[in-house]
Amino acid sequence: MPLSGNWITEDISDGMDCNDADPEIPRFFIPDEICNGMDDDCDGLADEETVPAGITANVFNLCGRPSIKLTATSYPAGYTYLWYKNNALISGAYAQTYKAKKTGDYTVKITSPAGCSGLSDAVTIYRSCREEELVAQESILSVYPNPATDYFTVDLISSNENGEAVIEIYDLTGKLVISKITQIFDHQLTEEFSVDDKLSSSVYIIRIISGEEIIEQRLLINK
């Protein structure tokens, strides 16, 4: 397999690595950086950005939802993740995913078992409405992604400040498929569900019951 890289004109290398000076060769091949402890691309840094890192999210606006799920590039077991908000390390955020509850610029650093790492571009989470407006308005239910394939998240901004809530999932025949008791805290509720054998490809009704309030939304499962 041919090496990946670029041909350039310089009088500093014979194309092996940047420690092999050879002024007799005016044009040589600079390979892409790989995880080997060497400065392969001759930029003065060894093993930089050899682990491509990125962040995806379904939405970026916190208005109407308590959190946004950020997902980093997936790697096999042994790779580690560190999440940052506004360039500051987030305590306890070591998983491939992170739920952002505050506005800011989020990045993730992914490190391979060999010690090489990559830092993602920043993803900006913002809020287009004022927080005091969220408390005053009626409850808002968000279900995403919709359609869902592997998982979906139920987010509720509740008119109730705290208390117990029941999440119920019904199929179109009215059969109760899933029921889960959870808690509203500071007007917020967030629960993630896996699309398992109980949920086939179809449309479902997501219902949340909190006190005297009942709020519903449809969800399409597309396996």
Domain locations in the chain?
A: 55-125, 131-221
pLDDT at residue 37, rounded to an integer: 67
55-125 matches 131-221 in fold = yes
CATH fold for the domain made of 131-221? Immunoglobulin-like (2.60.40)
Question: In whole angstroms, what is the distance from residue 5 CA to residue 17 CA?
Answer: 12
Question: In whole angstroms, what is the distance from residue 71 CA to residue 182 CA?
Answer: 24
pLDDT at residue 72, rounded to an integer: 96
**Averages of pLDDT over each 10 residues, the chain, 223 residues:** 45 44 46 64 63 92 84 94 95 93 93 88 87 57 92 88 92 93 87 91 94 90 89
Question: In whole angstroms, what is the distance from residue 65 CA to residue 80 CA?
Answer: 28
* 218, two tokens: 């449809």
pLDDT at residue 138, rounded to an integer: 65
Question: In whole angstroms, what is the distance from residue 79 CA to residue 73 CA?
Answer: 11
pLDDT at residue 122, rounded to an integer: 96
Question: In whole angstroms, what is the distance from residue 116 CA to residue 35 CA?
Answer: 6
* 166, two tokens: 């029941």
pLDDT at residue 39, rounded to an integer: 65
May I ask the CATH class of domain 55-125? Answer: mainly beta
Cα distances (Å, whole numbers) of residue 221 to 21, 65, 88, 146: 60, 21, 37, 8
Which parts of the chain are beta strand (E)?
5-9, 27-31, 55-56, 68-72, 80-85, 88-89, 97-100, 104-111, 117-119, 123-125, 140-144, 151-157, 163-171, 176-184, 188-194, 202-210, 213-221
pLDDT at residue 33, rounded to an integer: 62
Whether the Cβ atoms of residue 165 and residue 172 lie closer than 8 Å to each other: no
Residue with tokens 């199929």: 171
